Chain A
Amino acid sequence: MEPSLFKYIWRHSKREQLLILGVVLASLPFYFLSLDLPKRIVNDAIQGKAFAGGKEFIRAFEVRFDLPGFLGGGKVTLFDGIDVDRLNFLWGLSAIFFVLVMINGWFKKTINIEKGVIGERMLRRMRFDLFLQLLKFRPEEVRLVKPSEAASIIKDEVEPIGGFIGDAFIQPAFLSTQALTALAFILVQNIWLGMLSVLTVAIQAVIVPALRKKQLMLGKERQIASRKLAGKIGELVEGMPAVRTHGTQAYESAEVGGRLGNLFRIRFELYKRKFMVKYLNNLLAQLTPLMFYTIGGYFALKGTLDVGQLVAVIAAYKDIPPPVKELIDWDQQRNDVTIKYEQVVEQFSPSALPPCDPPPATPLTPLDGKKLAIDGLTVTDGRGSALLESASAHVTLPAHVALLGGPGSGREIFARAAGRQLTRYDGTVKIGESNLLTMDPDTATRLIAFAGSEPALFPTSIRENVAYGLRYRIPELPGDSNPAELRRQSEARRTGNPVARAEDDWFAYDVAGVRDMQALDHVIVSALRTVGLGDDIYRFGLSARIDPARDAALAAELVTARAHIHERLEAENKTRLIEPFDPDTYNANGSVGENLLFGVTVAQGMTDGALLSKPENRAVLRQHDLRLPLANMGVQIAETMLEIFVGLPPGHALFERYSFINANDLPAYEEIVTRWRNNGKSLEALENTHDMLANLALGYVEPRHRLGLLSEDLKGRIVAARKSLHEAWRAAGASDVEIYHPERFCSAAPVRDNLLFGRVGFGIAGANETIAELLQSALADLKLEEDIYRIGLDYQVGPGGKLLFATQRAGIDLARCLLRRPDILVVEGSLAGLRTADAMAIVERLRQEFGGRTLIVDLPEDATPTGFDFVITFENGRLTGAAPPQSAAGG
């Protein structure tokens, strides 16, 4: 990036700056006129100088000027003027003054808007250029960049630079001409007053910058401290698990507090200085008119200066300090912004990569017969110790290469170099004749894909993450000439930004061998299965919710599947595994609350208890005579809880996991149970406890908790209450709960619940596994498996993929590489978290997928490289063997 700020600004906004300069110049005559006019008004009109000699009328407002000699001499009269008396003269002059004021104001507005626009355009360009710089960083350098610092620089630190750009050339031009004009005017009127003005300006121009030098240094300090604060906070967010585990909150709080304190100190110093300077400026600005009145008044009384002149001079003088002050401010800003810019550019100066070779004349692929030649590969860490020393290997491609070696053996380094992840090394890595380091990016990314131990995932769905590798085909611009779109494009071109739109389709479907997004889903699922994530996606799909409004066809099919599944259960004599939801029956394997609502609360997080304690719902319960029975259930549950958990401290794990009551509420329930016992085990008189107790009862499931609290009669009443609740909700149009309907899809419940449409029977061993198997087989029969996988692909992975396990993240990265069908796949560390057997199963599938292409994979330490063409072993940073695997000894 251009190291000098002014050169950067000039290069990219030359035309606009000159244009505005022209406008500024054009505004000057009007400005000068507006300075002159007050004098004429006072002298000629009010004081009547123009009417001296008793004239009643004068000819005024003539517009006439003389042509210079080379154009022929003579006069040009545009307007002959009219005859006016004094009053009309005054009105006329005032009218002209008013018009001038409007014109000057309009000029100012135009100039300000244009300056703002120039600034914002430059800012857009600058931010984008910084972003481009970021893309140029070597992998080794990017590692050292703190994301939040970089974000803070691009977003916040360049903002004041943008604000300055509009002013960079124009402001000094505008202001200095203004000030000089006013100054010249004063000098013309009276030389002494003029000299006084010049003196005041000189004082301001010298003292103020001197005072502000310190401010500049403080500004620089502040910029750096602010950036570091952003970096620290980003760092803390990333490292929050460590803070929590080791309890270092106090230390981190002190750290951040210290930084904030430092920022405050810098700010405080800045404020003090800033307002000191302001004070001085104002002082000077006020003193001088005072002197004008005194000295000017003296001259006026003496007669060497007329009053009109004095008034005009004072008016003109009022116009000097502001531009001078602003000029000084501009200078300050200039210094400040230049420092900021230099700071920013320095941070974003990646060390230059060696220049790229042009794309090879003869295409590299197919690779048959070419060699992967690694010679003398030496990689050192930052401190000079060798991570890998002088590794050399020659492999004829295509080949399946196994890398063996423990951590620290240099194996990972080798893999990373082969996978284009390293740029600082000695030695060469070549494919055929092309050096991998200088290969042009297009060829290189088509040729080699790398799946590593630190996969980079984006906070979108699994589908988006896996398909990310295909997002490089620049889409065509839309052909329509919609004005907003044209404007967008022209602005983008003007500021050096890309013209293509991010919302269009960037996927290179052909690379994955498909035509569109629908077919891509199929390939994505297949890739995920290869890397062993098939079951995970399937499970995500089953536990996801779908929107029947959007996927009406799928929702209908899933409802049809319900019947099929129940038929299967009957056919295989497994009906005891699931108790289906029946609107007219109590579901013994569901809780009391579930049975009452017979649906799912739409607002995730609203508990059954909260819903049922709403007045209208409570009324229904009372109507069916359920309040007291539920409360009775609750008190018996509470009694049992207290009995069996006696002696355990409330925070105990057993308590937390198995008790109906949580630790905080324990004393309250204890009290209620005591009162109940004292009351002869009757709740009649204890009305205010009924709510709390009924809440306990809502979670009760007879086959699970086995306290014998549900009678047939009670069950019957609950079903009746259910119906009343449903009717009440229907009548009131309430939609807190989505009711289970045997023929409809429940959008608030996950897919699995919709398919099984019932509760799994408690107390039957292996029920969940059997049901899962049956479900899978039924879905396969109905050809719905693909749809479940498709739904599973919508799963959001969270920032950095945090909502997934490490092995799942690695799998997605690997699948992403598979989708691109590269000629060479390098896998390093992706299989690390898996058991050897699972890892080798994936390796086997990868080998099948890459038959005829090249696969370089690191194997778990205790694995045997069967089926590989080439085995490279590493130990202690050295390559210790590179040969085809030893054939098994006979016998």
Chain B
Amino acid sequence: MTLDNEVKSLQALPMFRGVEPAKLKLLAFASERLSYRAGDRFFRQGDVSDSAYVILSGGVDVLLETGADRIRVAQIPRGSIVGEMGVLSGSPRSATIEASEATEALRIRKDLFFDLLNEFPQIAVAVMRDLAVRLEKTNAQLSALRKG
């Protein structure tokens, strides 16, 4: 996949709606493109949060490790960004992320991430939008659990 194709994929993602293609190209160019097979791990709970990932294709599982058990708490499809929470807050990873199928992702390292956020407000808005959507979903799940 060339850079142009990646930019097209990024443009199709709801998260990056309204961001200039040139900025997306910069994002794609400066990031690392990684291929994962099913079961390959992105990062483990407790690891240092050093990068965020944009899922270009495929999907990932979010797993919480409790002692010997692993509980799948969510599934994140293509078009989302994962790992940005740890980067933004500076805390270690709150969960383990593994690819649930063959997945292509863009890995944005921490300093690049902050540079992009600082320089291009559109990207910052995109990230915030994604976080907001996820928070709404989580709140909805929580209230459903409370009621049930």
A646 near B119 (CB under 8 angstroms)?
no
Q: Which residues, 89 to 126 on B, are CB-close (under 8 Å) to A?
A: 105, 107, 111-112, 115-116, 119
**A644 adjacent to B115 (CB under 8 Å):** no
Once the chains are docked, how many angstroms separate the CA of A430 from the CA of B25? 72
Residues of B with C-beta under 8 A to A765: 34-36, 40, 42, 105, 107
Q: Does A653 contact B (CB under 8 A)?
A: yes
Assembled-state Cα–Cα distance A708/B28 (Å) = 14
CB of A265 within 8 A of chain B? no
A641-655, CB < 8 A from B: 643-646, 648, 652-654
Residue in A closest to B7 when the chains form the complex, CB atoms: A644
Cβ of A706 within 8 Å of any chain B Cβ, yes or no, is: yes
B6 contact set on A, CB distance < 8 A: 706
Q: B40 contacts which of A643, A654, A766 (Cβ < 8 Å)?
A: A766
Please, what's the 1-or-0 string for B24-35, where 1 marks a CB less than 8 Å from any CB in chain A?
011011101111
- When distances are taken between beta carbons in the complex, the residues of chain A under 8 Å from B33 are 703, 706, 762-763
Closest CB in chain B relative to A57 CB, distance in Å: 111
Q: How far is the CA of A416 from the CA of B31 in the complex (A)?
A: 51
Decide if B36 touches A646 in the complex (CB within 8 Å). Answer: no
Q: Say if the beta carbon of A707 comes within 8 Å of chain B.
A: yes
Given A644, A703, A762, which contacts B26 in the complex, CB threshold below 8 Å? A644
Query: In whole angstroms, what is the CA distance A763 to B1 when docked?
Result: 11
Residue of A nearest to B23 (CB): A644
Question: Which of A's residues lie within 8 Å of B, judged by CB?
Answer: 640, 643-646, 648, 652-654, 657-658, 703-708, 762-766
A-B contact pairs, 19 of them (CB 8 A): A643-B22, A644-B23, A644-B26, A652-B115, A652-B119, A654-B116, A705-B3, A705-B29, A706-B2, A706-B3, A706-B28, A706-B29, A708-B3, A763-B33, A763-B34, A764-B34, A765-B42, A765-B107, A766-B40
Sample of 15 more A-B contacts, CB < 8 Å, known A703-B33, A706-B1: A646-B22, A652-B115, A652-B119, A653-B115, A654-B30, A654-B116, A658-B29, A705-B3, A706-B3, A708-B2, A708-B3, A763-B34, A765-B40, A765-B42, A766-B40
Within 8 A of A (CB), among B1-48: 1-4, 6, 22-23, 25-26, 28-30, 32-36, 40-42
Q: How far is the CA of A766 from the CA of B39 in the complex (A)?
A: 13
How far is it, in angstroms, between the C-alpha of A704 and the C-alpha of B29 when the chains are bound? 8
Beyond A643-B25, A706-B6, whether A763 also contacts B30 by CB under 8 A is no
Q: How distant is the Cα of A231 from the Cα of B42 in the complex, in angstroms?
A: 55
* Contact, CB under 8 Å: A708 / B119: no
Residues of A within 8 Å of B29, CB to CB, are 640, 644, 658, 705-706
Contact call B112/A644, Cβ cutoff below 8 A? no
Cβ–Cβ < 8 Å partners of A652 in chain B: 115, 119
With CB as the reference atom, state the residue of chain B lying closest to A658.
B30
Report the minimum CB–CB distance from A305 to chain B (whole Å): 100
Collect the chain B residues with CB atoms within 8 Å of residue A703's CB.
Answer: 33
| Closest beta carbon of chain B to A834's beta carbon, Å | 16
- B-chain residues with CB within 8 Å of residue A654 when the two chains form the complex: 26, 30, 112, 115-116, 119
- Minimum CB–CB distance from B33 to chain A (whole Å) comes to 5
Chain A residues within an 8 Å CB radius of B116: 654
Nearest chain B CB to A137's CB is how many angstroms away? 46
Q: Which of B118-138 contact A (CB under 8 A)?
A: 119
| Residue numbers in A under 8 Å from B112 (CB-CB) | 654, 657-658
Instruction: Enumerate chain A residues within 8 angstroms of B107, measured Cβ to Cβ.
Output: 765
Contacts of A762 in B (CB 8 A): 32-33
Q: How far is the CA of A658 from the CA of B29 in the complex (A)?
A: 8
Could you say which residues of chain B place their CB within 8 Å of the CB of A646?
A: 22
Closest residue of chain B to A645 (Cβ to Cβ) is: B26
- Lowest 10 A-B CB distances belong to which pairs? A708-B2, A644-B26, A765-B34, A658-B30, A644-B25, A706-B3, A654-B115, A706-B2, A763-B33, A763-B35
Partner of A707, one of B2, B23, B42, B119: B2
Inter-chain contact B34/A708, CB cutoff 8 Å:
no
Question: How far is it, in angstroms, between the C-alpha of A646 and the C-alpha of B22 when the chains are bound?
Answer: 8
- The CA of A704 and the CA of B1, in the complex, are separated in Å by 11
Interface hits, B72-86 → A, CB 8 Å: none
- Residues of chain B with a CB closer than 8 A to A645's CB: 26
Q: Which of A643, A648, A707, A763 meets B32, CB within 8 Å?
A: A763
